[in-house]
Structure 1
Amino acid sequence: MTKLTQTSSLHTHLCFLLFLLLLLISHANSQSLQDQEQAVLLKLKSYLQSPPFLSHWIPSTSNTSHCSWRPEITCTNNSVTGLSLVDTNITLSVPPFICDLKNLTLIDLSYNYFPGEFPKALYNCSKLEYLDLSQNHFVGKIPDDIDSLPRLQYLSLAGNNFSGDIPAAIGRLHELRNLQLFMNEFNGSVPPEIGNLSNLEDLNLSYNIKLVPWNMPSNFTQLKNLKTLWIRESNLTGQLPGTLGEMAALEELDLAKNSLNGTIPSGLLLLKNLSIIYLFKNRLSGDIPQVVEALNLKVIDLSDNRLTGPIPKDYGKLTKLTGLALFYNGFSGEIPASIGRLPKLIDFKVYDNNLTGTLPPDFGRYSELGGFEISGNRLTGKLPDHLCYLGKLVGLVAHENNLTGELPSSLGNCTSLVIVKVYDNGLSGNIPSGMWTATNLSQVLMNKNSFTGELPEKMSWNLSRLEIRDNRFSGKIPTGVSSWTNLKVFDAGNNLFNGTIPQELTALPSLMILSLDQNQLTGFLPSEIIPWKSLNTLNFSRNQLSGPIPEKLGLLPVLTELDLSENQLSGQIPALLGRLNLNRFNLSSNHLSGKIPFELENPAYDRSFLDNQGLCAINSSEKLSICNSEPRKSSKISSKYLALILTFGILLSFLALSLSFFMVRAYWKRNGSDSYWKLTSFQRLNFTVSKILSGLTESNMIGSGGSGKVYRVPVNCTGDVVAVKKIWKDKLEEKLEKEFLAEVKILSSIRHANIVKLMCCISKDNSKLLVYEYSENRSVDRWLHRRNRPSNLSRSVHHVALDWPKRLHIAVGAARGLCYMHHDCVPPVVHRDVKSSNILLDSDFNAKIADFGLAKMLVKQGELATMSAVAGSSGYIAPEWAHTIRVNEKIDVYSFGVVLLELTTGREAIDGDEHTSLAEWAWRLAQEDNPLANALDQDIKEPCYLDEMCSVFKLGIYCTKKIPSARPSMKDVLQILLRCNHPVVHIEKNEYVAAPLLKNSKREQILEDCDGGLVTNV
């Protein structure tokens, strides 16, 4: 018994010793593995030349481990299983020793500049499950032996330059669940073997526009687990497989912008999980099948096809539907009433079809309706009463129908309203009073109806277009029109307005078109009209106006159309009118007399002076009598009196100026003493505070805006000039105070040749002054857009002064400034209000970014910053501001893209078409495969500049992508602009050679063919 006990005890001791030995061996192996992995990682750091973002990769001590080197390293059981080097500007090739990390299951190298072919060294990562090489510079074919990574579940090669065929070997990666191959240079075929990936859940082949035309393989429908199928704009042709409806798990389907034809398979709308369908811009035809089971649908976009028949009534069962777009088709019949009751519907777009009948009355009653676009149909009856019942309606676009009745009363309390377009209908009644003052209301187009009532004294400050021609509006033009400061188009012709034309109408500085013809207006024309510096068209014809034609009409710098016909005007035609370059000119049927100015004796104006009995011409004219050339005595006498009057007037003016000077000087001595002001300088100054204060006169004012007035102030006898922004209120508004402090903070902390230099700030309790270097040529928009260009320049001089080389020079300079703000400032700065009027030009047309009142400093580069409110300028605002206030520097990239479109097209930011801004118009132009050269500014387009202009135009489109992450960085934008004029390829041995204008930071290709297509917006 004792011996047995001893034997048992010995056995126990041996087992314990064996356990300790195994534990020691395991620990030694584990320690050896950790040492090996750390050595590999430090070798990787050295290979990458020890970049700053890896500064925390320091050899570990007894208390630390390389597993703490986050976020680049992920460990499981103290072994490296994940390596993530995302968006770190790596330009070297993938290191061949990367798979010395034996347990890697995840490698993410996306958003870098890795060159060369697919790195086959990754085949040594035998446990790899997740591989992301997207958004790099890889070239060549995807290897035919890609199935050497059999455990892959996620594979993304998107946003590269891979070419050739997509290899059939991908179909042998049987574990694959997510396959991303979008946006490459594939110019071969798509293998049907992809349909063998039975576990696949997400497949994206979009934006591969160079693929040979291909039909969707029928075995794709065997992908029973597929949830997302995106093949947008990838040369997909033919009919959709009838078995598409067998993909039971499908949730999102995007096959837009291909060349599909035939009908939509009825089985597609049997899918219970389907939530998004994008099939727009194909060649699909026939009727839409009924919806039976697809009750999870949230978005349906079948626009721009050849679909016909009625809108299925079953669409009213889609209780989760938020967007329905059926525009640009041939749908007929009535809109099902049940669609108006959908509880989630936000956007409803069915314009340009053949729809008839009345509108469902419940639109807007049960959902937060935002967009309601039904124009270009044959609809009748009333507009739904509840369109803005929940206060979210942004746009009502219902023009060119047969609608009757009054506008919905809910528009009277619709603060969200931006656009109302109901022209060319049979609508009547008064306008809901509250509609006019909706804060965001920008465009009201209601021509050709039977509306009545009077215009209010107060309207939305944001209103830019008011077109109410061919109605029955009456009463006087309100004197409150002077507060409509952003109005650009005012067309109220053929109404019943009476009374005089108010002088206040001339106070609108942005007005481009003014038409009050065919009314009952009386009295004289306004005499003081100098503020109309943007006016292009003036039409007061067919009224009862009397008195003389104001001489100052001849001083309007951009006036090209003038019609004062069929009135009771009298007196002579002012000689200054001869200075105008008029395309349309009519003074007929008045009581004018005397000589026609010599410059207007043009055959093109032969009918412009008819039915004026007292008019005569110096030269022979069939329409007018010849003037008597013998001078009359009375004219000599008149000249003497005129000389006396002028002399007396000059003396009076001199006395008034002298008196004003002494009064102003006394005021400054009393209230403007330097001692009351605090001066904070940021540069060496050659002027005093009193010199600045004395220069803040109306004669020196050169501009004004939401944050104050700007003055041009001479500061010494040598001709030095500064620009002074004045924010001067009895009680400084909190918003202006914040903008002032923001601008001081930004400009006092940064220095760059392409950012306006802040010299000092001068302040006291209720007054704030910012003093900048003066930019002789003012802002880009004054040169670029005809209505804003300097008034002392003729049209020809204007365009010579801002030819394409100067515009490209301006684009490069502005990009340098923004690039410095985003990439070189610590912390980075986001401007938030980039636009052509905030880019100033010095005497050599060097661009300088200005107006930092909305700028914010980002806490950390690349980190989202939360803004307090949506700000910015119409036409330049990035779309993400509509649904989030968390934005980053990509909003500046979007706005700068709009500026590039302005520079190449000559259009303004809001000048797209009736449905779109400039950015949206440019996207649509490219999507419709129109020659891009047709969009360029005809005044400067020359063959030698065509390629450059097209490249910059396309860069502008890329910058205005809807998804922020898809936009390039300003660093990449600058690089592309610099290459535009010098597309030289530098060849270095053993290095990948990048062609000019290749890719931006997210590697989308800027196509080289000016007349070619363009990657669509996502």
Structure 2
Amino acid sequence: MGTLHFCHLMLFLTLLTTFFDPILGDNSSDSYWLLRIKTEFVDPFGALNNWLQETSMCTWYGVTCTDDKNHVLSLNLSGSGLNGLISPEFSKLTFLERVDLSQNYLTGPIPPDIGKLQNLKELLLFSNSLTGVIPPEIGLLKKLQVLRIGDNLLTGRIAPAIGNLTELTVLGLAYCQFSGSVPKEIGNLKNLKFLDLQQNSIGGVIPEEIGNNSLSGSIPVELSRLSNLQYLNLQGNELGGEIPMELNNLVELATLDLSRNNLSGPINLFNTKLKNLEVLVLSENFFTGSIPENLCIRNSNLRQLFLADNDLSGDFPVDILNCLSLQQLDLSGNNIGGSLPAGLGKLESLTDLLLNNNSFTGIIPPEIGNMSNLESLFLFGNMITGGIPADIGKLQKLRTLYIYDNQMSGTIPRELTNCSSLAEVDFFGNHFSGAIPPTIGKLKNLVLLQLRQNELSGPIPSSLGYCRKLQRLVLADNKLSGSVPSTFGFLSDLFLITLYNNSLSGQLPESLFHLKNLSIVNFSHNRLSGSIVPLTGSNSLTVLDLTNNSFSNNIPSQLAMSRNLTRLRLAHNSLTGNIPSEFSQLKELHFLDLSFNNLTGELETELSGLTSLATLCLAIIISPGRFPHELGNCSRLLKLSLHSNRLSGPIPPEIGNLNFLNVLNLQKNNLSGSIPSTVQQCKKLYELRLSENGLTGPIPPEIGTLSELQVVLDLSFNRLSGEIPSSVGNLVKLERLNLSFNQLEGKVPASLGKLSSLHRLNLSSNHLQGQLPPTFSGFPLSSFLGNDKLCGPPLLSCSESSGHEKMAVRISSCWNHSGHCVHLHFDMLVSAVHHGEDMVELAKSGRFLLRERWIRSQK
């Protein structure tokens, strides 16, 4: 029975083959195999739609035939949007000389059968999603000249079999996930001109075999095999050790990129041998020592020299001034010092000079004005002094000038505004003084102007408003005065403007309302006045900070149109009216500070929708009202500060919904009732201030579960009663504890003695009794005054307080509260015989004054 089923199956397969073969054609023809290859591809864009059996394959997309039209000579399907696999049946196209499947979406492995294409000269599979390892069979392609399989997901070691491809001139294996070391067999590729292994995880040292070519003497002839190499890129691997000296023997080398590795030691490269070198990139390694003196020779071809982010030291290499063809020089991020040589002006071909983040001193040489092709000048992060040379105005092509974080001084020369191509200027963190040049409006291409943290004075030039491409304007931390120019209304591309920490005054010009792209605005700490409406014309605002000015009138409801507003700081002004109800629409707002204004109204509606709010500061602004339980909806709140208002009623239990809260400050209000036990749900609290209210009832023991409390727990000046919960002793990170001026009673829990981080403690003016924990002896007496039955160091010992004649001392302290002197009185018992005089001195040293009389008493 089984034999019968097998026969039926074989018959079915035979009929199926007979049916399909006529469709695909003769299975001995290349067209047949092309159609079979097509079945492995997913072709979403129909690139292979004209691959039809009834037409000549030589007319098919991407196919080039031999002269006799019988065989496929080349197949180019690059960038056709193909998915799927590379079919093993490519091996049937035995006349193939070139295959280009690059820049598609092919997956799966490179089929080992590819090694059967004995006539293949070029194999281009780069920029796909191929996986697996390089099949060793690839070493059978003896005629292969170009192999580019980079930018895939290939893994494993680079196949040593590649060393068998002795005709290879181009080897591109970049941007894969290869590991291990570079195989020494690559040294066999004597015709190799282009080698790119960048962005892999290759480790080990650079094999000497790569550099052993055209050598004589004791170097074996077998190693001299890469004599034609022109391009070597090993960037972005994990290569270590030093550069082998043999690399200097690559006399045809034009480009060498060893950047982003772990190479160390000195730079063992010499232009006396590498005479054809045009591009040298050694950035982001650990090279030490000075830059080789003979790296440049006269008539050098070197055009690009990148040595950034190493540990190079010494002075500026004067020998580099011989590289007259140099176009880009990057020595940034090293420890190179000394002064900048005047000879820099000789490098007239230089377009980019990056010397930032070094230790250069001295001045910028005026000769820098001779570098007529310079486009980028980066000198930031050094210790350069002196002023900006006027000759810099000669640099008509200069686009980027970064000299921030230096020690430069003097005025900004008017000649700078002759650099008509300037797009980015950053002078942050120097000591420039005087006025901003009034001719700055000539810089029509300016995109960034950063002059923050200098000593500039005088008015902001109105001509700045004519730099109409300006996107970022930063004039903060100076001594600028006068008003904000009305011409700023022309800066339609402006999205960031910061003028904070100056002495600007007057009202904002109405023209600012036309700046529809404004995103970040900071005018804080000036003397500006009037309405803030001119800053509400943009619906793109994300940050608005006007803190510490003299702005008045209402908060404009138009601000709510900026739905991406994240930070709004209007504190310390004279704003009036209600908080706009439209603020509930600001779903992205996470920082709101309206403190110290003259606002009125309650917060229920305004706060109900602020679900992203992380910081809320509304100190001293609100008319009498209840604590808004709607704040419980602001579940992302990190800081809540409502101190010094006239809020009344209980703290709502919804406070427990604020699970991310770090800071809760409700001090100096009229809050009443008990502290809700739900506060225990605020597990991330590290600062809790509820002082100077009318809170009653016990301290909830749940407060001891707030294990992150560190900065302070302040419940003072309330009417709390009962005992101090022993659970407070669990707050091991707590640094300040203030429970003074309440009605607490009972003993001080011994567990409080375990608070090893505590350095400030105040339990005064309660009804506490019994012996203090021994660890409290180091706190001042004032921490415990006003508890007439409390004993133990620093108070009297408990035996003394019960065994001697006592005197009561009434002691008064003037405590400043809101500008008024409030007299606080403490009645203490001291020993008349042994401790009277000491107590007087102790009271004086604690800034307490004896106010009334000694009262002799006998227990």
Q: Within 1, Cα distance between the matches of 2:285 and 2:414? A: 41
The verdict on how the C-alpha distance between 1:131 and 1:501 changes in structure 2, with shifts beyond 3 A counting, is closer
Percent identity of paired positions between Structure 1 and Structure 2: 30
CA contact under 8 A between 1:325 and 1:349: conserved in structure 2?
yes
Give per-residue Cα distances to partners, 1:747-774, cap 9 Å, x unaligned.
Answer: xxxxxxxxxxxxxxxxxxxxxxxxxxxx
Q: How does 1:194-213 map to 2 (within 5 A)?
A: 194-209=368-383, 211=384, 213=385
Does the residue aligned with 1:229 lie in a helix, a strand or coil?
A: strand
Q: Within 1, Cα distance between the matches of 2:185 and 2:465? A: 58
Q: Within 1, Cα distance between the matches of 2:273 and 2:168? A: 10
Aligned to 2:508: 335
| Cα drift, residue 239 of structure 1 | 0.9
Which range moved further: 339-348 or 244-253?
Answer: 339-348
The verdict on how the C-alpha distance between 1:55 and 1:393 changes in structure 2, with shifts beyond 3 A counting, is farther
Q: Within 2, Cα distance between the matches of 1:137 and 1:620? A: 58
Does the residue aligned with 2:396 lie in a helix, a strand or coil?
A: coil
Q: Within 1, Cα distance between the matches of 2:649 and 2:290? A: 74
The verdict on how the C-alpha distance between 1:248 and 1:570 changes in structure 2, with shifts beyond 3 A counting, is same
Question: In the alignment, is residue 450 of structure 1 matched against residue 579 of structure 2?
Answer: no
- What is the RMSD of the two structures over their aligned residues, measured on CA atoms? 3.9
| Cα drift, residue 398 of structure 1 | 2.1
Q: Within 2, Cα distance between the matches of 1:97 and 1:551? A: 75
Q: Within 1, Cα distance between the matches of 2:419 and 2:486? A: 24
CA contact under 8 A between 1:342 and 1:367: conserved in structure 2?
no
Q: Within 1, Cα distance between the matches of 2:411 and 2:169? A: 52
Q: How does 1:90-489 map to 2 (within 5 A)?
A: 90-96=263-269, 103-114=276-287, 115-123=289-297, 126-144=300-318, 146-209=320-383, 211=384, 213-290=385-462, 291-360=464-533, 362-363=535-536, 365-431=537-603, 433=605, 435=607, 438-450=610-622, 452-453=625-626, 454-456=628-630, 458-489=632-663
| Cα drift, residue 538 of structure 1 | 3.6
| Cα drift, residue 96 of structure 1 | 4.4
Q: Which runs of 5+ in 2 are unaligned?
A: 1-144, 146-165, 172-178, 199-228, 233-251, 805-859
> Relative contact order: is structure 1 or structure 2 higher (C-alpha 8 Å, sep ≥ 6)?
1
Q: Within 2, Cα distance between the matches of 1:435 and 1:154? A: 55
Structure 1: which amino acid aligns with 2:262? Answer: N
Q: How does 1:392-791 map to 2 (within 5 A)?
A: 392-431=564-603, 433=605, 435=607, 438-450=610-622, 452-453=625-626, 454-456=628-630, 458-535=632-709, 537-553=712-728, 556-559=731-734, 561-564=736-739, 583-588=760-765, 592=767, 595=770, 597=772, 604-605=780-781, 608=784, 610=786, 615=789
Structure 2: which amino acid aligns with 1:490? Answer: L
Does the residue aligned with 2:599 lie in a helix, a strand or coil?
A: strand
Give per-residue Cα distances to partners, 1:289-318, cap 9 Å, x unaligned.
Answer: 112420111111111111111121212221
Give per-residue Cα distances to partners, 1:971-1012, cap 9 Å, x unaligned.
Answer: xxxxxxxxxxxxxxxxxxxxxxxxxxxxxxxxxxxxxxxxxx
Q: Within 2, Cα distance between the matches of 1:507 and 1:88? A: 49
Q: Within 1, Cα distance between the matches of 2:773 and 2:353? A: 75
Structure 2: which amino acid aligns with 1:583? Answer: R
Does the residue aligned with 1:348 lie in a helix, a strand or coil?
A: strand
Structure 1: which amino acid aligns with 2:585? Answer: N
Give TM-score scaled by structure 2 length.
0.60
| Cα drift, residue 324 of structure 1 | 0.9
| Cα drift, residue 271 of structure 1 | 1.3
Asked which structure has the greater CA Rg, the reply is 2
Q: Within 1, Cα distance between the matches of 2:612 and 2:339? A: 51
| Cα drift, residue 602 of structure 1 | 9.2
Of residues 244, 257, 260, the one that matches 1:84 is 257
Q: Within 1, Cα distance between the matches of 2:759 and 2:493? A: 56
| Cα drift, residue 435 of structure 1 | 3.9
| Cα drift, residue 170 of structure 1 | 1.9
CA contact under 8 A between 2:339 and 2:361: conserved in structure 1?
yes
| Cα drift, residue 558 of structure 1 | 4.6
Does the residue aligned with 2:263 lie in a helix, a strand or coil?
A: coil
Does the residue aligned with 1:393 lie in a helix, a strand or coil?
A: coil
| Cα drift, residue 596 of structure 1 | 6.4
CA contact under 8 A between 1:155 and 1:180: conserved in structure 2?
yes
Q: Within 2, Cα distance between the matches of 1:188 and 1:226? A: 22
Q: Within 1, Cα distance between the matches of 2:447 and 2:596? A: 37
Q: How does 1:762-911 map to 2 (within 5 A)?
A: none
Does the residue aligned with 2:409 lie in a helix, a strand or coil?
A: strand
Q: How does 1:949-960 map to 2 (within 5 A)?
A: none
CA contact under 8 A between 2:632 and 2:656: conserved in structure 1?
no
Q: Within 1, Cα distance between the matches of 2:346 and 2:576? A: 63
Q: Within 2, Cα distance between the matches of 1:116 and 1:566? A: 69
Structure number with higher strand proportion: 2
The verdict on how the C-alpha distance between 1:192 and 1:539 changes in structure 2, with shifts beyond 3 A counting, is closer
The verdict on how the C-alpha distance between 1:135 and 1:530 changes in structure 2, with shifts beyond 3 A counting, is closer
| Cα drift, residue 601 of structure 1 | 9.1
Does the residue aligned with 1:351 lie in a helix, a strand or coil?
A: coil
Does the residue aligned with 1:402 lie in a helix, a strand or coil?
A: coil
The verdict on how the C-alpha distance between 1:86 and 1:434 changes in structure 2, with shifts beyond 3 A counting, is farther
Aligned to 2:193: 66
Q: Within 2, Cα distance between the matches of 1:97 and 1:593? A: 83
| Cα drift, residue 468 of structure 1 | 0.5
| Cα drift, residue 564 of structure 1 | 4.6
Does the residue aligned with 2:508 lie in a helix, a strand or coil?
A: coil
| Cα drift, residue 126 of structure 1 | 3.2
Q: Within 1, Cα distance between the matches of 2:491 and 2:350? A: 33
CA contact under 8 A between 1:280 and 1:303: conserved in structure 2?
yes
| Cα drift, residue 388 of structure 1 | 4.2
| Cα drift, residue 219 of structure 1 | 1.0
Give per-residue Cα distances to partners, 1:661-707, cap 9 Å, x unaligned.
Answer: xxxxxxxxxxxxxxxxxxxxxxxxxxxxxxxxxxxxxxxxxxxxxxx
Give TM-score scaled by structure 1 length.
0.51
Structure 2: which amino acid aligns with 1:351? Answer: S
Does the residue aligned with 2:551 lie in a helix, a strand or coil?
A: strand
| Cα drift, residue 373 of structure 1 | 1.4
CA contact under 8 A between 2:441 and 2:465: conserved in structure 1?
yes
Q: How does 1:34-49 map to 2 (within 5 A)?
A: none
Q: Within 2, Cα distance between the matches of 1:67 and 1:113? A: 25
Q: Within 2, Cα distance between the matches of 1:227 and 1:621? A: 73
Q: Within 1, Cα distance between the matches of 2:181 and 2:492? A: 52
Does the residue aligned with 2:449 lie in a helix, a strand or coil?
A: strand
Q: Which runs of 5+ in 1 are unaligned?
A: 1-30, 32-36, 43-49, 631-1018
Structure 2: which amino acid aligns with 1:157? Answer: L
Aligned to 1:52: 181
Aligned to 2:10: none
Q: Within 2, Cα distance between the matches of 1:162 and 1:253? A: 24
CA contact under 8 A between 2:704 and 2:727: conserved in structure 1?
yes
CA contact under 8 A between 1:244 and 1:267: conserved in structure 2?
no
Structure 1: which amino acid aligns with 2:181? Answer: P
The verdict on how the C-alpha distance between 1:449 and 1:608 changes in structure 2, with shifts beyond 3 A counting, is farther
Aligned to 2:155: none
Does the residue aligned with 1:530 lie in a helix, a strand or coil?
A: helix
Structure 1: which amino acid aligns with 2:634? Answer: S
Structure 2: which amino acid aligns with 1:153? Answer: Q
CA contact under 8 A between 2:327 and 2:350: conserved in structure 1?
yes
| Cα drift, residue 118 of structure 1 | 3.6
